[in-house]
Amino acid sequence: MSFDTPRTEGKVRKIAVFRALKLGDMLCAVPALRALRAAFREARIVLVGLPWACEFTSRFGNLLDGFRRFPGYPGLPEQPVEVTAVPGFLAAMQAEQFDIAVQLHGSGQVVNPLVRLFGARHTAGFYPAGEDCPDADWFVPWPARGTEVRRLLRLTEFLGVPTQGEHLEFRVSDADRRAAEAVSGVGDDDYACVHPGASVPERRWPAERFAEAADDLAARGLRVVLTGSAGEAGLTRAVASRMRAPAIDLAGKTDLGTAAALLARAKLLVCNDTGVSHLAAAVRCPSVVLSTGDNPARWAPADSARHRVLCRPDGVVPVADVLAESAALLSAV
């Protein structure tokens, strides 16, 4: 792709991508980032994101060249606003003189004015359908339907950037594999991962149901590995205490790479509709995902054969359904 196009009015040297969200949201943005990298190979592409995403950026050095820590903004719930840091952050962004600032955060209702303050030569993104378009050459209406991956690719395709596949990806290193083996102790045993956490309590399947599903996996000859962040240790303990079979509780003991390595070798993941489900999709780990009904069509993994999303109108997925889907996936391995 030529960098001297009528749309860009000159060579593109620096691109800022704004997506200040959590793990699952970031993994869903990988196809759009991959398209940008393929189109702008000579440009520096930096992510503007939440503090944790510095690790994400280092993991995706093939797509991203740098990271800028976002201090928060009024109206965005993902983190408290560091009010005193906002002016300095914006001044630093403006000083970098980005050629394009890409708003991949969402509909743009809250963040479009913020991203314009980055001072880029051009700003691209989404705007709420039915409202005034900020710039018809650079903005498209936020799609009301479709998977999150496809929604984000709607913008890159509009900008003339060819899609480089819709698949998720995550590179697992040999060091990640060694760390996963050391922390889990599973050796060569077959195992399944069970992840009872989710950032929003309303999206969590009950611990007693996870325990029942985990015991069924153990009865099938699999070791059970409970995963979660340090803040979810109470949830994994609650599941372990309700199980009849023993479990390996790794809550708070894995980083992003170690968790990915565990999933890459696991026979199955059972989890809530949260970021780990997208990590499983990225490393091709079969999964059963419990959805509370918060737009499962938007967040479900694209491969419905490998990833089974269970959702009921009342939000209560029966254990029997999870056991049946788990058995089907395990028999297909």
pLDDT tens digits, residue range 220-278?
Answer: 999 999 999 999 999 999 999 999 999 999 999 999 999 999 999 999 999 999 999 99
Which CATH code for domain 174-332?
Answer: 3.40.50.2000
pLDDT of residue 8 exceeding 70 = no
Domain locations along the chain: 14-158, 174-332
Dihedral, CA atoms, 323, 328, 329, 333, nearest 10 degrees?
A: 130
pLDDT in tens, 169-214: 999 999 999 999 999 999 899 999 999 999 888 889 999 999 999 9
Tell me 84's DSSP state: G
Beta strands (DSSP E) in 14-94 are 14-18, 44-49, 66-69
Question: Of 64, 66, 60, 54, which Cα lies nearest the Cα of 92?
Answer: 66
Length of the chain: 333
pLDDT of residue 5 exceeding 50 = no
Q: Do domains 14-158 and 174-332 have the same CATH topology?
A: yes
**How crowded is residue 309: how many other Cβ atoms within 10 Å of its Cβ?**
19
Does residue 67 contact residue 54 with C-beta atoms inside 8 Å?
Answer: yes
| Continuous H helices in 103-147 | 112-116
Which CATH code for domain 14-158?
Answer: 3.40.50.2000
pLDDT in tens, 278-308: 999 999 999 999 998 778 889 889 898 999 9
Give the per-residue pLDDT at 2.
Answer: 36
